[in-house]
């Protein structure tokens, strides 16, 4: 038997089954066991089509007899796609033929790749307040939709859904948005979220245009967003191939910046570090200016980013990530001051790309994070700088004379790119080819960072945080405990509190325990043999209402702090349920008025509408209004 490893570089050519091998899984790889005799054929059909430019087949093991032979047949088909490169300066607009577009159903699909963590992919809006926006925010994909808000009520149509993570990896990602009325399927890389928009309307009303790659030129955008910088492929809007129209000159591209129909490769080549990695780069000896800059991303709060020993007799410098901040320690040998410390930034272990720039010269040093000059940290401490000729990134080996960083830090686990030494961009491909520097256990042109909080394993709103190797859930304020915030901290009913010896008071209850319903506060009346559970609304004890007529009844809205599902969980477990309303009328002639009507409307939202119809003035003094469904009711 022979084993085979399949590696794919994802760029345009579609590879689909059959593949003559049988698969079994190993962590992060795909290996295929071959035949066990000399002429047998083992066939395996790939579960999903694969888009790739290069396919590398690597024999892994010899067969049991000590011989290896390989014949493999891979079947694929050409893959053609229209690609547009956006330079981040101007969007591409598709103008509607009828100036206004009113749709009940929409299907929008495209592919994108970018190295930026912010950017508007497309946007459209209407004068009635409708809009649809797809954008990248903090390397996640955000879809914002508003089919219209009701100006006569508090119902707001704004809806926002976020999916994905680490999408600034310069790899292709596929997006499909399918909308029918308020129901939307939002698919990223074959992972689909289904949601329903807020509001009451089903149609999307857009005016003039739909812009791709940024905000439109015309009109007043409802919000500002950074233009997209990267590539898009196969843009399709309701059956219209936008990229094909642009290529054939059917769209006005005069306002677009440097629009091209080929994808420009990023100049940023990432390098991946694990816990035993380091990268050694050469520098110019005895320079008066120490200049270093690089980008990094990691989940770990503490690690060594850079270490360099100055010229003999001048000390050393190290750049650390310390509790999510950049910390610099400069050891000095020429003055009475032993070291200079600087720190800047916070929360830099969030998995996003961050830029570090550090420059030091005689009696002056400046540290800048993410290009924010206004927040740069400076020092004018006395020091002399003479650079050394070695720069260690991400870790360090055992050095001659046991020279090592003064602080004990974990080696860096994460990715770096755009490394500059002495103001010169480092050619990482030259390092890979052995022409420059040295490295141990690093992977060049790859960033194997993983978001362990996607999907979020923390339940009930628990906040997920992570390191490189693990994640944990912060359950504070959720009402739940445990590793994934699964265990409810509250009893399921007032009856349970009574069994614990509690007296009448307000308590938090969680009727479905560790289920999806959250805990909420109720009043438990335990003075009788039976335990009463009372839910509160926001209406004061007394409210005076006048001017109600059968034609124009007075509507009193009662807002509850609980949802209808939470209330239903209480009433379904109760033996008896009642709604209590008391009212009185002043200066009225009840016999001459129509029959009074009192009814409750349970709305779709988390409130109940109490409607009273009467021709007289009255004082509504209801203190308790308990919502009952499928229960016996007294009014």
Confidence at residue 501, expressed as pLDDT on a 0 to 100 scale: 92
Q: State the Rg of the chain over Cα.
A: 33
Please tell me whether residues 305 and 414 are part of one structural domain. yes
Confidence at residue 69, expressed as pLDDT on a 0 to 100 scale: 63
CA dihedral 465, 471, 475, 481 (to 10 degrees): 180
Confidence at residue 61, expressed as pLDDT on a 0 to 100 scale: 66
Give domain status of residue 337, yes or no: yes
Please tell me whether residues 551 and 502 are part of one structural domain. no
What is the CATH classification number for the domain harbouring 300? 2.60.120.200
Starting at the edge strand that comes first in sequence, how are the strands of the sheet with 74-77 ordered?
Answer: 50-51, 14-19, 74-77
Please tell me whether residues 91 and 240 are part of one structural domain. yes
Local structure of 294: helix, strand or coil: strand
Residue of 620, 626, 621, 622 whose CA lies nearest to 608: 626
Last residue of a domain, one of 77, 96, 122: 77
Please tell me whether residues 289 and 319 are part of one structural domain. yes
Residue of 7, 36, 9, 8 whose CA lies nearest to 22: 36
How many domains would you assign to the chain?
Answer: 5
Please name the helix (run of DSSP H) or strand (run of DSSP E) that holds residue 83, with its range, or none.
strand 83-87
Confidence at residue 398, expressed as pLDDT on a 0 to 100 scale: 63
Give domain status of residue 454, yes or no: no
Please state whether beta strands 364-369 and 240-241 pair in parallel, antiparallel, or not at all (unpaired).
Answer: unpaired
Please tell me whether residues 160 and 182 are part of one structural domain. yes
Give domain status of residue 420, yes or no: yes
Distance from C-alpha of 358 to C-alpha of 444, rounded to nearest angstrom:
24
Please tell me whether residues 371 and 506 are part of one structural domain. no
Confidence at residue 208, expressed as pLDDT on a 0 to 100 scale: 86
Phi, psi angle pair for 143, to nearest 5°: -110, 125
With contact defined as beta carbons under 8 Å apart, do 440 and 396 qualify?
A: no
What is the CATH classification number for the domain harbouring 530? 3.30.750
Give domain status of residue 122, yes or no: yes
Last residue of a domain, one of 46, 77, 108: 77
Partners of residue 554 on adjacent β-strands = 612
Q: How far is CA 104 from CA 161, 184, 206, in A?
A: 20, 11, 12
Dihedral sign, CA of 215, 177, 187, 9? negative
pTM above 0.85, yes or no: no
Work out the number of other CB atoms within 10 angstroms of the CB of residue 134.
Answer: 22
- Give ∠ CA 313-316-320 in degrees, rounded to 5: 175
Give domain status of residue 163, yes or no: yes
Token duo for residue 407: 């602080």
Residues of the chain whose pLDDT is less than 70? 1-31, 38, 47-49, 51-54, 56-71, 79, 151-154, 217-223, 254-257, 334-337, 398-409, 583, 586-635
Give domain status of residue 475, yes or no: no
Q: What is the C-alpha end-to-end distance of the chain, expressed in Å?
A: 80
Please tell me whether residues 396 and 417 are part of one structural domain. yes
Ramachandran area for residue 40 (φ above 0: left; ψ -120 to 50: alpha; else beta): beta
Please tell me whether residues 346 and 412 are part of one structural domain. yes
Please tell me whether residues 567 and 607 are part of one structural domain. yes
- Give ∠ CA 597-602-607 in degrees, rounded to 5: 115
Query: 423-468, pLDDT tens digit by residue?
Result: 999 999 899 888 999 999 999 988 989 999 998 999 999 999 999 9
Last residue of a domain, one of 56, 77, 98: 77
Please state whether beta strands 325-331 and 607-613 pair in parallel, antiparallel, or not at all (unpaired).
Answer: unpaired
Confidence at residue 629, expressed as pLDDT on a 0 to 100 scale: 34
Please tell me whether residues 549 and 528 are part of one structural domain. no
Give domain status of residue 241, yes or no: yes
Give domain status of residue 184, yes or no: yes
CA dihedral 71, 72, 78, 83 (to 10 degrees): -110
Please tell me whether residues 223 and 178 are part of one structural domain. yes
- Please give the residue range of the domain that contains residue 11: 3-77
Distance from C-alpha of 141 to C-alpha of 112, rounded to nearest angstrom:
11
Distance from C-alpha of 143 to C-alpha of 197, rounded to nearest angstrom:
11
Please tell me whether residues 357 and 388 are part of one structural domain. yes
With contact defined as beta carbons under 8 Å apart, do 273 and 444 qualify?
A: no
């Amino acid at each position: 038997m022979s084993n085979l490893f399949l590696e794919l570089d994802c760029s345009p050519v579609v590879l689909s089954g059959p593949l003559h091998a049988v698969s079994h899984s190993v962590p992060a790889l795909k290996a295929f066991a071959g035949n066990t005799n000399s002429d047998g054929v083992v066939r395996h059909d790939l579960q999903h089509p694969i888009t790739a430019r290069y396919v590398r087949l690597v024999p892994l093991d010899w067969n049991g007899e000590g011989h290896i032979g390989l014949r493999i047949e891979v079947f694929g088909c050409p893959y053609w796609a229209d690609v547009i490169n956006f330079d981040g300066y101007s969007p591409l607009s598709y103008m509607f033929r009828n100036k206004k577009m009113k749709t009940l159903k929409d299907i929008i699909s495209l592919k994108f790749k970018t190295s930026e963590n912010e950017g508007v992919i497309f946007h459209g809006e209407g004068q009635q307040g409708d809009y649809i926006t797809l954008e990248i925010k903090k390397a996640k994909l955000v879809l914002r939709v508003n089919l219209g808000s009701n100006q006569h009520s508090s119902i707001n149509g704004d809806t926002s859904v976020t999916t994905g993570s680490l999408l600034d990896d310069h790899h292709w990602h596929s997006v499909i948005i399918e909308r029918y009325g308020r129901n939307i399927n939002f698919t990223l890389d074959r992972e689909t979220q289904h949601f329903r928009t807020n509001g009451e309307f089903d149609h999307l009303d857009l005016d003039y245009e739909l812009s791709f790659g940024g905000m439109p030129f015309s009109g007043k955008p409802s919000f500002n967003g950074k233009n997209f910088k990267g590539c898009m492929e196969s843009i399709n809007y309701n059956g219209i191939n936008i990229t094909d129209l642009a290529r054939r000159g059917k769209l006005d591209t005069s306002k677009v910046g440097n629009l091209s129909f080929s994808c420009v490769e990023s100049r940023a080549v990432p390098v991946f570090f694990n816990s035993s990695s380091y990268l050694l780069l050469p520098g110019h000896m005895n320079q008066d200016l120490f200049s270093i800059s690089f980008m990094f991303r990691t989940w770990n709060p503490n690690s060594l980013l850079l270490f360099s020993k100055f010229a003999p007799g001048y000390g050393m410098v190290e750049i650390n990530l310390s509790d999510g901040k950049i910390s610099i320690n400069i050891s000095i040998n020429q003055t009475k001051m032993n070291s200079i410390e600087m720190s800047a930034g916070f929360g830099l272990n969030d998995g996003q790309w961050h830029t570090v720039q550090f420059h030091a010269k005689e009696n002056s040093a400046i540290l800048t994070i993410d290009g924010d000059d206004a927040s740069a940290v400076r020092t004018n401490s006395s020091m002399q700088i003479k650079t050394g000729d070695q720069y260690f990134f991400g870790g360090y080996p055992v050095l001659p004379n046991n020279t090592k960083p003064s602080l004990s830090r974990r080696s860096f686990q994460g990715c770096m790119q755009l490394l500059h030494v002495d103001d010169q961009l480092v050619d990482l491909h030259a390092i890979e080819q052995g022409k420059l520097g040295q490295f141990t256990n690093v992977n060049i042109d790859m960033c194997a960072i993983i978001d362990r909080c996607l999907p979020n394993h923390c339940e009930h709103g628990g906040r997920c945080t992570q390191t490189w190797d693990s994640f944990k859930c912060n359950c504070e304020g959720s009402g739940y405990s445990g590793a994934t915030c699964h265990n409810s901290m509250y009893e399921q009913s007032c009856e349970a509190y009574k069994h614990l010896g509690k007296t009448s008071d307000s308590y938090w209850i969680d009727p479905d325990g560790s289920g999806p319903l959250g805990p909420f506060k109720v009043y438990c009346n335990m003075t009788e043999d039976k335990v009463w559970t009372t839910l509160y609304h926001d209406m004061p004890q007394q409210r005076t209402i006048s001017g109600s007529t059968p034609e124009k009844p007075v509507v009193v809205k009662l807002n509850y702090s609980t949802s209808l599902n939470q209330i239903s969980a209480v009433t379904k477990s109760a033996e008896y349920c009642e709604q209590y309303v008391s009212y009185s009328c002043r200066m009225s002639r009840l016999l001459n008025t129509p029959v009074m009507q009192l009814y409750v409307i349970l709305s779709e939202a988390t409130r109940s509408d109490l409607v009273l119809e009467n021709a007289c003035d009255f004082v509504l003094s209801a203190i308790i209004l308990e919502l009952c469904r499928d229960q016996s009711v007294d009014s």
